[in-house]
Amino acid sequence: MNVSFLNIQTHGDELSLNFSGEFNLYLITKYQNQIDTFSLSKIKKVSINLNELSFLDTAASLFINNLQKNLQSKNIQTFLECHKKEILDTLDLIKKQKKVLHAIPHAKKVSFIDTIGRETHKNYIGLLSFLSFLGETFFTHARSIKSLKNLRLKEIAFEMNESAIKALGIVCLTSFLIGLVVAYQSAYQLNMYGANIFIVDMLGISMLRELAPLITAIVIAGRSGSAFTAQIGAMKITQELDAMRTMGFDPYLFLVLPRIIALMIAMPILIFVSDIMGVLGGILVANLNLQITPELFIDRFRNVVAAKHFFIGIGKGPFFAFLIASIGIYRGLMVQDDTQSIGFNTTKSVVESIFAVIVCDAIFSIAFTNLGI
């Protein structure tokens, strides 16, 4: 068995380092600790003897090289003793290949104006890319749908089930709680002025016209919009989209349009259900806190809440659905060839969809108010 060790001897102002056996990466710390136990303040000469070494790896060679430089920097004469060619070749290889580390230059400080400009340009390019996606979807591929025979009815029905029917539970629960909370917060204020009955007016108009469509769209953006991004992004990473094109199938006709159409059909239905659940939450609070019976609530609701508020809320559905589905699918197509990109684009999809829905709702509110609707 080849035993490895370091024998250190001192003779006055001379120090001898005698390495034996194999010297590799795993012995560097041990040998360094041995050398550190000796004081070099009175040492003028150091002899490094490698004649007894049977093997020297590159890490140990770096250690020997750095040891020599460290001793020479302290004005200590260093002598290397070695007659084995393979050991000397390893030491010479390290000296030739060792790279000099240069200081990493400090990053230039980017000005606030420069940051705004870069972000503005980035968002502008992103907007152009999204508009190009919409143009390719409708002006190029929607023309190929000349009759109902060309519509992928089976895929549309499947997507309606995935994005709408399976979302009924969370939409119902969310809308019921929103209606309950809005009615509960309003009940105290109305009760102070003896205007209990006006909770019907407030809840009915706000729920049908604004809250139900907005809450439903936000829930669907977080649930179905993100699912569109993840599904299409995964298909892009696994090259399923490329395989479809190779076999002559257009991904826009098989993946994009069915999802958009399905969500545009399903969103008004979800908003209608959301209206019902929100009003039920209001009826519950009105009965418990304001002593307004369900019969009185419904009778007042029928007399003071015009049908136009219901149709305005329902009419927003297809527009919200179009934005959510388009952004979700677009972000899926923007996924790069790594899994981290799926998470990034899924997050962007949800944030951008919710933002687009809120902006669209604000535009509708301003337009309807100015039109007196």
pLDDT at 1: 47
CA angle at residue 133 from 346 to 116, to 5 degrees? 65
Specify the pTM. 0.68
Rounded CA-CA distance 327/231 in Å is 13
Q: Per CATH, is 5-97 categorized as 3.30.70.260?
A: no
Give tens-digit pLDDT for 277-295.
Answer: 999 998 998 888 888 888 9
Backbone dihedral angles phi then psi of residue 104, each to the nearest 5 degrees = -75, 125
Percent residues over pLDDT 70 in the chain = 94
CA angle at residue 38 from 37 to 42, to 5 degrees? 155
Give tens-digit pLDDT for 88-97.
Answer: 888 888 777 7
CA distances (Å), origin 164, targets 264, 273, 287, 334, 355: 10, 11, 31, 25, 21
Mean residue pLDDT across the chain: 86
Rounded CA-CA distance 14/26 in Å is 27
pLDDT at 216: 94
Tokens representing 192? 């102070």
Residue by residue, DSSP assigns 54-113 as: EEE-HHHHHHHHHHHHHHHHTT-EEEEE---HHHHHHHHHHHHHPPPPPPPPPPPPPPHH
Residue of higher predicted confidence among 146 and 335 = 335
* Mean pLDDT to the nearest integer, 36-52: 83
| CB burial of residue 174 (10 Å; 0-12, 13-18, 19+) | middle
pLDDT over 60 at 100, yes or no:
no
* Mean pLDDT to the nearest integer, 187-202: 81
Give tens-digit pLDDT for 66-83.
Answer: 888 888 888 888 888 888
Strand pairing report for 77-81 and 45-56 = parallel
Tokens representing 176? 């019921």
Give tens-digit pLDDT for 105-127.
Answer: 666 777 888 888 888 998 889 88
pLDDT at 57: 87
Strand partners, 78: 46
Q: Where is 23: in which H helix or E strand?
A: strand 14-23
Give tens-digit pLDDT for 1-32.
Answer: 467 888 888 887 888 888 888 888 888 888 88
pLDDT at 141: 66
Percent residues over pLDDT 90 in the chain = 24
Spans of all domains in the chain: 5-97, 151-371
Rounded CA-CA distance 222/174 in Å is 13
Helix axes 339-371, 212-220, angle to 10 degrees: 170
Give tens-digit pLDDT for 228-276.
Answer: 999 898 888 888 888 888 888 878 888 888 888 899 999 999 999 999 9
Question: For the sheet containing 45-56, what is the strand order?
Answer: 5-11, 14-23, 45-56, 77-81
Q: Where is 46: in which H helix or E strand?
A: strand 45-56
Residue by residue, DSSP assigns 312-333 as: HHHHHHHHHHHHHHHHHHHHHH
Q: Is 216 helix (H, G, I), strand (E, B) or coil?
A: helix
Residue of higher predicted confidence among 145 and 204 = 204
Give tens-digit pLDDT for 299-331.
Answer: 988 888 888 999 999 999 999 999 999 999 999
